Each structure stands twice: as structure tokens, then as C-alpha cells.
Amino acid sequence: MQYQISGIHINIGDALQNYVKDELNEAIDKYAERPTDAQIIFSKSGHEFVCDAIIHLSTGLTAQAKASKAEIYAAFNACAEKVEKQLRRYKRKLKGHQKDQNQSVEFIDPTSYTDATKDGLQDSTSSSGPLIVAETDKVFPVLSVIEAAEEIEKSKQPFLLFKSDKKQGVNILFRREDGNLGWIEPS
């Protein structure tokens, strides 16, 4: 994870930088997976220190918080508590969301693929049409894009096929190489 700890008209020492990194690592490891970067900016407003924190996760969540206190460490601690609360709520939402859903997502076992023609006989010499690699009678779940993203995050599968609750057709949500999610929707 990349940290950018800076101060506006304030000199940020090594002790404060190490404290910020340690505290944020603890909160992020506890509540979030695959953080990408964090930006912490300290400034002074009157007699108070102000701490702004922005944390980006690979899932697309951006946790932002701002706090001001008379001491710089207290300002960071208050800001870190707000960020931690956002991450905790996000994790709780991911974990507890499926309890309310009636329809569970069923993943197809990749070993159940068949190699057959229309008659059910295997004939590799005479092929008038495309070869059917797999057939299934699975019904695609009807989900919103957010629900599908939560499903793919929980399941650790590389992709998810689903029907959107707003559009006709099958949508594909897939995990990209950079850790983010890609979405293909019918036009």
C-alpha cells in the first residue's frame, strides 16, 4: 500500500509518519482487503490541527474523513476512528448482505463441461456446426450491479454472470488483473 503523508505549512516528522502508517495498517488489515493507497494531509486552522484522510480500496470504495483537534496526534486519531468506522460498516455490509437475499448465487463447476453434438454422440470428423463445449440449465440470478460486486468479492471467483434488475440480458462482472472489477452489460 502506498502512503502519502503531507502537511500544509506544517513539517511532518518521522515519528508522526510512522505512527500514522502503523495505525492505518492496523485498521485496514482488520476491515479491508487489497487497499491501494492512502492520502493523509495535516493542516492548521486557527489554533487547531486538521487531519484529512482519503483511503482507496481496489473494490472502488473510497473512505474519507476529516477531524480537527488541538493536538496533531489527537486530530489524526479522531480522523482514523471515522475511517475505521466507514471500513467496518462496509465490511459488515459485505458480510451481512446475503442474509436478506432470497436467491443464492450458484456457481457452475468447471469440471462438469461436456463435449457433445446435437444427438449426444461425439463425432469429430463430420461437424456441420460449432462444437458445443458446455450446456447448463442454470438460471442466472437477478442482481443489481452492487449486489453482484459484493457476491464476486465474497466468492473470490474470477467472474459472475447475472441478469440485471434494470436491463434485459445477461451481464458479466469480472475481476481485472489490477484487482478492480470490470462490468460488461448488454446494449
Domains of the chain, earliest start first: 2-97 (3.30.160.100), 104-184 (3.30.505.50)
Cβ count near 101 (within 10 Å): 13
Q: What is the pLDDT of residue 180?
A: 82
The span from the CA of 122 to the CA of 127, in Å, is 10
113-152 CB burial, b ≥16 within 10 A, e <16: eeeeeeeeeeeeeeeeeeeeeeeeeeeebebebebbbbbb
The span from the CA of 158 to the CA of 179, in Å, is 10
pTM of the model: 0.52
The span from the CA of 154 to the CA of 107, in Å, is 12
Task: Kindly give the confidence (pLDDT) of every residue in the chain, 187 residues in length, as a single tens digit, with 9 standing for 90 and above.
Answer: 788 999 998 888 999 999 999 988 888 788 776 777 889 999 998 999 999 999 888 777 888 999 999 999 999 999 999 988 888 888 887 776 555 555 556 655 555 555 444 455 454 445 566 666 666 677 778 888 888 888 888 877 788 888 887 767 788 888 888 778 888 887 7
